[in-house]
A and B are shown apart, each in its own frame.
Chain A
Amino acid sequence: MKKHNNSDKITRKEAISKMGKYAALTAVGTFVILNPLKSQAQSVPPTPGGDPFS
């Protein structure tokens, strides 16, 4: 599944060669980690609250 083909290597090389200090320090501070729902669910209301059972 890991694909290290030539175009990936070129892109990576370009990114490194162009990367200055500031870009490197900024880059490691900006990433996103996203976790899907562990169990299937429909839309959650934007603000929780409101008990359908009360």
Chain B
Amino acid sequence: MNSNLAPTCKKLFGDYWVLWYAISNSYSVVSLEFEALLDIYLSANSYNAFSSATPIALNVTEKERIFKSLHNYLESCNQPYVLSDKDSIALNTAFRNISKHYVFEDRSIQIHYSSESVLKIIHPAIAYYCKSLNDTINVTFDVHLYNDQLCLYKNETLITAVPKTDYHLVQGKFIMHLLCELHDIEEQDWIGTLHGSTITDGESSILFIGKSGKGKSTLCALLAAHGFDLLADDVSPLHSNNRHLYYNPSSISLKEGAFNLLKPFVPHFDELPIVEFNTTKGPLKYLPSCKPEKDHYPCQAIVLVNYTPDSETILEDISVQLILETLIEDSWLSPNPKHAEQFINWLHTLPLLQLTYSSTPSVLSEIATLFKQFNCHK
């Protein structure tokens, strides 16, 4: 039955299959039973062939129901992946109302913003690198709000234009291009930019994931204040050539609920400016941290952060389904089949863990032990 609807690649993770469909760039996590039935469906060339090949005592209605479910599933997985065309909006240099200059090691970046509110979208996370203007500029970005469209340009060429309420898309696109500049890597050489924060001990790294507001940035800020280094906050880029996670210079963004927790560990915490972004996030502080010694590190585990008041510290295995349900929909993953296969294979090499905690000293100790275990196994 239409074997061209079959997944492009797949891999078994314990009790689950992870499937990927190139036409839609969709990932799917299914049980062993589902995959077995799917295989029968795809191998059969008619409903009758499917019906006879299904070795289970099902009546006609039940078989039809299964057949239809598999059909609908495949239809959903094979919806073509289409990027909407962006309208071309020419750069108007008259909108360069605020200009800032940033220096990242040996790279010098200039950004022109059309207003203060536009500046707040990009500047606070990289404010630490803002310096006075000097002569050498390696790349110029423009971020302009024009007719309710937020536009991002690089070297005067439009990269993206989105409705202003989708500002986070401009943030992400900007970070991607910044990372390309800093690491001399082309956009097409990334497997993806994962929604998570990465911590390193100088030898390897751990990717901490969790839905927005679940405490991964706070945990990483705590770890960064206790001897570990932050490699990336919120956007962790994964490179195709070496499957390493790379440095993202953005400062850690902290919500007000984390201020009291971090204040004892961060010198001059009170002097960090408060950024009022919007009413949903509330007041934010951006916490810069030292760049790790290297630009990239191999990842040794993915940890789902589960801050739970009054809980004990528990680090335990969890399913690939929970990991991917948390990770995929807020991450950008390349639609290139080579990268998708690399992503799945990379995932397969890693321990997938959930960290439940409430106590700071206890969680610090747990993570330190985890890193030591990785290093012992080398």
Contact = CB atoms under 8 A, between A and B. Distances in A.
Interface string A2-31: 110000100110111101110111111111
Contacts of A2: 6-10
A28 B333 CA distance: 26
A35 B24 contact: yes
B26 A25 contact: no
Contact of B330 (A24, A31, A38, A43): A43
B26 A37 contact: no
A2 to B, nearest CB: 7
Contacts of B9: 1-2
A12 to B, nearest CB: 5
A16 to B, nearest CB: 5
B327 to A, nearest CB: 9
B12 A21 contact: no
Contacts, number: 185
Contact of A12 (B35, B77, B281): B35
Contact of B35 (A15, A26, A32): A15
A42 B171 contact: yes
A16 B120 CA distance: 56
Nearest to A28: B69
Nearest to B331: A36
B130 interface: no
Contact of B235 (A21, A28, A34, A42): A42
Contacts of B65: 25, 28
Given A1-B337, A39-B173, A43-B168, A27 B31 contact: yes
Contact of B37 (A8, A20, A24, A41): A24
Most chain B CB neighbours (cut-off 10 Å) among A11, A15, A46: A15
Interface string B159-181: 01010111111011101100000
Contact of B66 (A14, A24, A48): A24
Contact of B30 (A31, A36, A49, A53): A31
Contacts of A42: 168, 171-172, 175, 234-235
B117 A52 contact: yes
Contact of B33 (A15, A51, A53): A15
A26 B167 CA distance: 40
B57 A21 contact: yes
Contacts of A30: 30-31, 34
Nearest to B196: A43
Interface in B246-282: 277-281
A53 B280 CA distance: 13
A39 B329 contact: no
B60 to A, nearest CB: 13
Contacts of B8: 1-2
B135 interface: no
Nearest to A38: B83
B314 to A, nearest CB: 24
B350 interface: no
B332 interface: yes
Nearest to A52: B278
B332 A41 contact: yes
Given A25-B62, A41-B172, A41-B330, 18 more contacts: A1-B8, A17-B55, A19-B36, A20-B57, A24-B62, A25-B66, A26-B33, A27-B30, A27-B37, A28-B34, A33-B27, A35-B27, A36-B25, A41-B332, A43-B234, A44-B212, A52-B277, A53-B164
Interface of B: 6-10, 12, 24-37, 39-40, 54-58, 62, 65-66, 69-70, 73, 76-77, 81, 83, 117-118, 120-121, 145, 160, 162, 164-169, 171-173, 175-176, 192-193, 195, 211-213, 234-235, 277-281, 321, 324-325, 328-333, 337, 341
8 contacts: A1-B8, A21-B56, A28-B65, A32-B321, A33-B26, A34-B28, A44-B330, A52-B278
